């Protein structure tokens, strides 16, 4: 009989390719972890790793088991939560771009802890492409992503739309357009707007912005701005805006979260909108993952 704990140990070692790192993550000694892997290999009567000194590489059988073990553990976890209910203790692992976690991370945690008060959450920042791959491999339970234009085509994965956002020009009360003779202006022609300094991301926050002219979705080919500052750090962006040194083109939810204001832009026909979704491994069990998705679906109605 295959032990589920041994399968979990195998998955962690396969992901890290290091017994020491896996031992630390699992809170086990290297000796105990090594014995667990040996028992699993004996149960399956195969070799799962090719050992090269301290390095471990998955064998052909190990690669085959990795996908099946992930499916088995996912199903077992959801089955357990279906019956254990609020008594179930587990960790919800969420991955995605910083901005989306800031926008929807709190809402997800509220949904989860309302029914499963013994659960805990772990948030990790990665690009949306990396995040989807991480959920597919079983390393994370949810990915928060901006839905790509072509959608998600991996049949192992499901998606739940949790919100949408539109990019707008962010400004603070300290900016020249909010002071002096400009203080009563609630809108500005785009040709005048682009004379002011902007802070622009170094890299696109979402994969569907990567082929745009600018990393934040602005049409710099039509209305070229002054890219005075470049940073991916949201706190640095906020400080530049709060000091009045720059404007930024940001998702509307992020402008609100950062305590900034929105400046209306006149005579500009272009816009950038995004749908935000949770990506998860599909399951026939009505466990906690399905509960989270259903909670967001009901919230939208």
Residues of the chain with CATH 3.40.190.290: 164-274
d(CA 125, CA 128): 9
* Alpha helices (runs of H) in 166-247, residue ranges in sequence order: 190-193, 234-242
Q: Which class is domain 1-84? A: mainly alpha
d(CA 301, CA 162): 11
CATH fold group of domain 164-274:
D-Maltodextrin-Binding Protein; domain 2 (3.40.190)
Predicted confidence (pLDDT) per residue in 44-101, tens digit: 999 998 877 667 788 989 888 887 887 777 777 777 777 777 788 888 999 999 999 9
**How much is the pLDDT for 284?**
59
* Alpha helices (runs of H) in the chain, residue ranges in sequence order: 4-16, 19-26, 30-44, 60-84, 98-115, 128-137, 190-193, 234-242, 252-257, 288-300
pTM over 0.75: yes
Quickly list DSSP for 67-110: HHHHHHHHHHHHHHHHHHGGG---EEEEEE-HHHHHHHHHHHHH
Residues of the chain with CATH 1.10.10.10: 1-84
Contacts 24+ apart (CB under 8 A), 13-18: 13/37, 13/49, 13/56, 14/58, 14/62, 14/66, 15/137, 15/139, 17/55, 17/56, 17/57, 18/54, 18/55, 18/56
**How much is the pLDDT for 88?**
83
Beta bridge mates, 91: 120
**Residue 139, both tokens:** 């390393």
d(CA 82, CA 245): 52
Q: What is the mean pLDDT of each run of 10 residues along the chain (301 residues)?
A: 82 80 85 90 90 78 84 77 80 94 95 93 94 88 88 84 95 88 72 96 89 92 97 96 97 95 94 93 77 86 55
* Closest among 53, 69, 96, 88 to 8, alpha carbons compared: 69
* Closest among 27, 24, 4 to 16, alpha carbons compared: 24
Using the structure block, give the residue that is written with the tokens 């902007």.
198
């Amino acid at each position: 009989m295959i032990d589920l704990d041994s399968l979990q140990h195998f998955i962690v070692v396969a992901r890290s390719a290091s017994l020491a790192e896996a031992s630390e993550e699992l809170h086990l000694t290297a000796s105990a972890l090594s014995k667990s892997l040996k028992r699993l290999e004996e149960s399956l009567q195969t070799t799962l790793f090719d050992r090269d000194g301290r390095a471990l590489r998955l064998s052909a059988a190990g690669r085959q088991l990795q996908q099946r073990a992930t499916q088995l553990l996912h199903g077992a976890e959801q089955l357990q939560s279906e019956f254990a209910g609020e008594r179930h203790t587990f960790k919800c692992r969420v991955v995605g771009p910083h901005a989306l976690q800031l926008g929807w991370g709190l809402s997800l945690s509220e949904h989860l802890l309302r029914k499963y008060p013994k659960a805990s959450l772990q948030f990790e920042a990665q690009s949306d492409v990396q995040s989807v791959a991480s959920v597919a491999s079983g390393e994370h339970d949810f990915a928060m992503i901006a839905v790509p234009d072509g959608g998600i085509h991996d049949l192992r994965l499901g998606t739940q739309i949790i919100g949408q956002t539109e990019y707008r020009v962010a400004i603070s009360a300290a900016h020249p357009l909010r002071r002096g003779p400009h203080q009563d202006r609630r809108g500005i022609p785009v040709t005048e707007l682009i004379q002011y300094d902007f802070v622009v991301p170094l890299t696109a926050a979402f994969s569907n912005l990567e082929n745009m002219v600018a990393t934040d979705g602005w049409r710099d080919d039509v209305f070229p701005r002054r890219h005075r500052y470049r940073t991916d750090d949201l706190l640095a962006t906020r400080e530049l805006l709060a000091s009045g040194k720059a404007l930024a083109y940001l998702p509307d939810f992020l402008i609100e979260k950062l305590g900034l204001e929105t400046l209306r832009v006149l005579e500009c026909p272009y816009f950038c909108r995004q749908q935000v979704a949770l990506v998860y491994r599909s399951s026939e069990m009505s466990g906690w993952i399905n509960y989270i998705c259903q909670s967001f679906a009901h919230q939208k109605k």
